Structure 1
Amino acid sequence: MKVYLKFIWYNKYMNKIKAKVFTIFWLASGAVWAVSSVKHIINKEDTFVIVIYVATAIASFGLAFRSYSKK
């Protein structure tokens, strides 16, 4: 129920300026996670950590796309 209410709030109060700010924030966040995952891949660290970092980067880029589509 809380998730649904947050979704309603997001659709009701998101305007063009907020959508632009959220898009920039999530793109920057996705870029940071992507760079971190590449760093872990180069250092041949634990595969589980790499999967988590890549999944977080994909989620951030997805949220950026969602915010951009609200513009």
Structure 2
Amino acid sequence: MTFFAPRDAETSLHCPDCGTRLHIARSCREVHMYCPACRAHYPLREYIHRADEAMERFLENVYCDRIE
């Protein structure tokens, strides 16, 4: 069985620094938000309360604890 999940997805949330749409991305150790234009990175916990549909679909394939 092969498992494939995207490592990156564009969201409807905007970068507080430049206004570009933020992306949600996963690495081996964490999920974070980042801006592809200015390359700023943001912790997921700062955006999880505003999760849009793209974030929800992305996180369905990531094992994580969303309760803090």
TM-score clears 0.5: no
**Bigger radius of gyration, 1 or 2?**
1
Q: Tell me the TM-score normalised to structure 1 length.
A: 0.30
By relative contact order (CA 8 Å, sep 6+), the higher-ranking structure is: 1
More helix by share: 1
Q: Tell me the TM-score normalised to structure 2 length.
A: 0.31
More strand by share: 2
